Amino acid sequence: MGNSLTLIMLAAWPAVAAVLFARLSPRQAIVWTLLAGYLLLPPVVGIDLPLMPPVDKNSVPALCALVGALVMRDRLDLAWRRPEGWVIALAVLAIVTPVVTVATNPEPLIEGITYRPGLGLFDALNGTIGTILMLLPFFLGYQVMASTEGVRTWMKALIVAGLAYSLPMLLEIRLSPQLNVWIYGFFAHDFSQSIRYGGFRPMVFLEHGLWVAIFTVMAVLSAAVAFREAPRPARMRHLVILLYLLVLLVLCKSAASIIYGMLLVPVILLTRTRWQVGLAAMFALAVLVYPLAQWTGVFPTEAVNELAGSIDPERGRSLEFRFDNEKILLERASRKPLAGWGGWGRNLEVDPISGRFSSVSDGHWIVMMTLAGIMGYVATFGLLCGSVIRLWLAARHRPVDRWTAGLSLIMAASLIDLIPNATITPLTWLSVGALAGLAARGLPSPQDRPQAEPAALRHPPMKTVIG
| Mean pLDDT, residues 430-434 taken together | 97
- Tell me the residue type at 234: A
Of 133-137, 348-352, 406-410, minimum mean pLDDT range:
348-352
Does the pLDDT of residue 463 top 60, yes or no? no
Q: What is the pLDDT of residue 139?
A: 95
CA dihedral 403, 405, 411, 412 (to 10 degrees): -150
For residue 446, name the pLDDT band (cuts at 50, 70, 90). low
User: For 248-295, how does the pLDDT look when each residue is reduced to its tens digit (9 = 90+)?
Assistant: 999 999 989 999 999 999 999 999 999 999 999 999 999 999 998 988
- DSSP one-letter string for 383-437: HHHHHHHHHHHHHTTS---HHHHHHHHHHHHHHHHTTT-----HHHHHHHHHHHH
Q: Which residues pair with 385 in a beta bridge?
A: none
Q: What is the pLDDT of residue 113?
A: 83
- This prediction has a pTM of 0.91
- DSSP one-letter string for 106-170: -S-EEETTEEEPPP-HHHHHHHHHHHHHHHHHHHHHHHHS-SHHHHHHHHHHHHHHHHHHHHHHH
User: For 136-161, how does the pLDDT look when each residue is reduced to its tens digit (9 = 90+)?
Assistant: 999 999 999 999 999 999 999 999 99
Q: What is the pLDDT of residue 356?
A: 83
| Mean pLDDT, residues 434-452 taken together | 72
CA 63 – CA 50 distance, rounded (Å): 17
Task: Answer yes or no: are the C-beta atoms of 275 and 353 closer than 8 Å.
Answer: no
| Mean pLDDT, residues 9-21 taken together | 96
CA 413 – CA 185 distance, rounded (Å): 33
% of the chain exceeding 90 in pLDDT: 70
Grouping H, G, I as helix, E, B as strand and the rest as coil, residue 350 is strand
Could you state, in order of their start, the residue ranges of all structural domains in the chain? 4-293+362-466
Task: Answer yes or no: are the C-beta atoms of 342 and 102 closer than 8 Å.
Answer: yes
| Mean pLDDT, residues 197-201 taken together | 86
Does the pLDDT of residue 423 top 80, yes or no? yes
- State the chain's mean pLDDT as an integer: 89
